[in-house]
A and B are shown apart, each in its own frame.
Chain A
Amino acid sequence: METSAVIMMVFGLVITWGGAAICISIALKRKNL
């Protein structure tokens, strides 16, 4: 697997699941999830 492919796979996963994690943490701070 080429480096560019690994970078794009990680990029996609980090943006989506990282984004979801940040949003969930914001909701948890509000203690209403």
Chain B
Amino acid sequence: MQQREQWGTRTGFVLAAIGSAIGLGNIWRFPYVAYENGGGAFFVPYLFAMLTAGIPFLILEFGAGHKYRGSAPQIFAKLSKRWEWLGWWQVLVSFIISIYYVAVVGWSISYFFLAFNQGWGPDTGDFFFKEFLALSDGPLDVGGIRWPIFASVVAAWTICWFVLFKGVKKGIETASKIFMPLLFVMVIIITVRAVTLPGSLEGLNWMFKPDFKTLLDINVWIAAYGQLFYSLSIGFAIMLTYSSYLPKDSDINNNAFITAFANCGFSIISGILVFSVLGNMALNQGVGVDKVVKSGVGLAFVTIPKAINYLPNPALFGTLFFMALIFAGLSSHISICETCVSSLMGKFDLNRKKAVTIYCIVGLFSGTIFATNSGLYILDIVDHFINNFGVLAAGLVEIIFLSWICKLEVFQEHINKTSDFAMGNWWLFCLKFITPLVLGYMSIANLIGDIRTGYEGYPVDALFYFGWFLVVMVAVIGFILQTTTLMGSDSTGSPAESNR
């Protein structure tokens, strides 16, 4: 059995955890969600969700990873042999996310080079959908591979392979110490530039002007909890894996607080950046900010490039913006892949170099479908289903298992032993009641919504193959992997009966 790797410094671990949490969603999802759900008033439920669900869940995952020191399936198997499948379920969810998430990182790499001379032209929507993606008529009309996109995806996988190949300390930790400070510096530079643009204050007014009446709407609170769960990398084994590399006497609680605060603070800065740019663009077009606001792929690859076209020094702003997207995306992608690599190493007794190489090659070729003419459609469907019925459902089962079937007090004793400050009864209450209730409500509401109305008008067969079938298969394969006895499966160690 191989000796488990360790982080070299506490700063390295914290930066890697922040790097995992901060991703593309912080830049392109949070500002829109806040704008749609009460503007500045959204911060009340958002920060409440951070304190009552995000941070408690993060502490629990850090604690479980640190206490049982293994990949996600190994950690759950140590708690109970019958629950190993939960770890595999989460790992498979991570695998699916890694193969489509990297496609967006690939687009960002392409757009970084296009930004030098605004190669997207004046009609950024036409360029992105018709020229760059060359979108087909629907998700089942796959067409052929878009080779320029595939080349960018290969570049992203190569960087990821290089970092993971070097290991936890020399690879992930070093990369995090480079990526994270650079990301913060770049985002601060472009944010300062953005808020000095004409019209930026009008844009900021649209995002931050509070509508406190929305606080009476339960959907606003659910949106806040949802944004936080997806943002903090909880519920799909990443933080379990990262914390399993911590030395024995490491802090748990304070590290989780720093990670969550930095992640949420970065989201707010991203909101300032995005809405300042949108305000400037609205002013230039002579329309209201509500007419130009978008989220997701449309914001990053259509609206922002269009806004960049109006700026005095578009090349500098554009390259910095897409470089920031690349760094944010890559640091998250690396963490997702590490989760899978760590599990492969544990299950098949592979050394790191072999596991990383196999994983990256399999990931690259499995994700080829996202570089085809229907890539965006498929990505949209897979992302929706994996987030709503993979991450959320696995997170719900995990929290029920850890807080109700296991003894939460054992985790509490463990995390308080080595942390800078202790967690009290509020932590137990949040994990036993608030988090499962919110996750349960969200899962049921999503299920009912998708059964009743489908998703975005996509054909039923496309939703079946890339949505329902996929999420069911991910859970089923998780069960199969638990029952498969392979080399290295004994590395799960002895069951932690004391924790149940």
Contact = CB atoms under 8 A, between A and B. Distances in A.
A30 B210 CA distance: 39
Contacts of B11: 33
Nearest to B256: A23
Contacts of B257: 19-20, 23
A7 B43 CA distance: 11
B295 interface: no
Contact of B204 (A5, A17, A19, A24): A5
B416 to A, nearest CB: 15
Nearest to A6: B208
**Does more than half of chain A's interface fall in helix, strand or loop, or is it mixed?**
helix
Given A1-B201, A1-B202, A6-B208, A27 B420 contact: yes
A27 B10 contact: yes
B265 A17 contact: yes
A24 to B, nearest CB: 6
Given A23-B261, A27-B10, A9 B208 contact: yes
B265 A20 contact: yes
Interface in A15-30: 15-17, 19-20, 23-24, 26-27, 30
Contacts of A23: 254, 257-258, 261
B205 A5 contact: yes
A26 B421 contact: yes
A12 to B, nearest CB: 4
Given A8-B41, A12-B47, A20 B261 contact: yes
B371 interface: no
A11 B41 CA distance: 10
Contacts of A8: 39-41, 43, 208-210
B251 interface: yes
Contact of B258 (A7, A24, A30, A32): A24
B268 interface: yes
Interface in B8-65: 10-11, 14, 39-41, 43, 47
A1 B204 contact: yes
Nearest to A1: B201
Interface in B399-427: 420-421
Contacts of B40: 4-5, 7-9, 11-12
B58 to A, nearest CB: 13
Most buried by A among B39, B201, B268, B421: B268
A16 B420 contact: no
B420 A11 contact: no
Contacts of A7: 40
Contacts of B207: 5
Contacts of B10: 27, 32-33
Contacts of B251: 27, 30, 32
Interface string B258-275: 100110110011001000
A16 B264 contact: yes
A10 B85 CA distance: 45
A13 to B, nearest CB: 6
B261 A16 contact: yes
A13 B265 contact: yes
A4 B209 contact: yes
Contacts of A13: 265, 268-269
5 contacts: A5-B209, A5-B210, A8-B41, A13-B269, A19-B261
Closest 5 CB pairs of A and B: A8-B40, A16-B265, A20-B261, A5-B208, A1-B201
Given A5-B205, A9-B272, A24-B258, 9 more contacts: A4-B209, A8-B39, A12-B40, A15-B47, A20-B257, A20-B261, A23-B257, A23-B258, A23-B261
